[in-house]
Amino acid sequence: MTIHFGATLPQIKRTWAETRATALELEALGFDSVWVNDHLYGIPGPQLPIFEAWTTLSAVGAITARVQLGTLVSPVGFRNPALLAKIAATLDNITGGRVIVGLGSGWFEMEFSGYGFDFPPLRERLQQLDEAATVMKQLWTEPQPSFAGKHFHTSSVFCEPKPVQQPHPPILIGGGGEQVLLRLAARHADIWNNLAVNQEQLAHKVAVLRRHCAAIGRDPASIQVSQQTMVIIGKDGAEAQARIEKARAVYGGHLGAGIAGTPQDCIDKIRAYVDAGCTMFIIEFFGRDTREPARLFAETVIPALRS
């Protein structure tokens, strides 16, 4: 079993120089993928500066050679899915087949309304997600498809060149809704990403996903399980505790589950998630310059879990 380690790039209140340097460092350290969030407003404050996701990902793709490139995740209400399929296919060609397309329903209503996008009720946004995944797979795999849905449509559309990855770039679907979202993941996803807020419920969510797979006759092993997580790491107990306390101060005491502690603590916690069915981790390292904790993690944790 090979465990995939990805890491997020600095994107909010950061310069392109910081984003660029981190991407190059993560690739050199041996991480498998780099990720950007797809928001138009900064989180948690809409006034915070933030780089647009697919523009940033394209720039990162041009300066890297090996790491996969993903969005965590792109709300389907931001872009016509046929256009997004074209964008992803283009970037997949430019990067030699390194794109992972993360999709979701979106949740931050203020950025939708601010940019003039519709923000229908959740049920409709999930219907949009279902249709968008269908449209995108059609454009990537069929010569000239048409689609007539409630929310999206295409008419004898060409998407050339096709993506490098066959049959298409991996689709990651993120979210934890057990009745609908996980059913959509069972239908469409190559990767399902468990939100950080649901980290402690990973084993339960995996069981629900497997039930949805069984209902449609899909092998659950064909879906890779990913866990989004914050990592706070220190070289020893004292340093780790100091960083944990700093993180608590920054986040107002609400850290959630996360993975925190010494390298051995991180190894033990990751092994427990692997036992629950997870083989992919998308990490947000805590720190102003995330390269420093990423180095420690790459030097001490990754080798132990790949040996």
Buried/exposed code over 132-147 (b: 16+ C-beta within 10 A; e: otherwise): bbbbbbbbbeeeebeb
34 — phi, psi (to 5°)? -125, 150
Tokens at residue 270, please? 């990751």
Domain boundaries, the chain: 4-306
Kind and range of the H or E element at 55? helix 53-63
Average pLDDT, the chain: 96
Question: Is the pTM here over 0.75, yes or no?
Answer: yes
pLDDT digits (tens, 9 = 90+) for 103-145: 999 999 999 999 999 999 999 999 999 999 999 999 999 999 9
| Residue-level pLDDT at 26 | 98
Region 247-265: mean pLDDT is 84
CATH of domain 4-306: 3.20.20.30
What band does 307 get if pLDDT is binned at 50, 70 and 90? confident
Question: What distance in Å separates the CA atoms of residue 134 and residue 147, rounded to the nearest whole number?
Answer: 9
> Among residues of the chain, what percentage have pLDDT more than 70?
99
Judged against a pLDDT cut of 60, whether residue 79 lies above it is answered with: yes
H helices within 95-121, ranges in order?
109-114
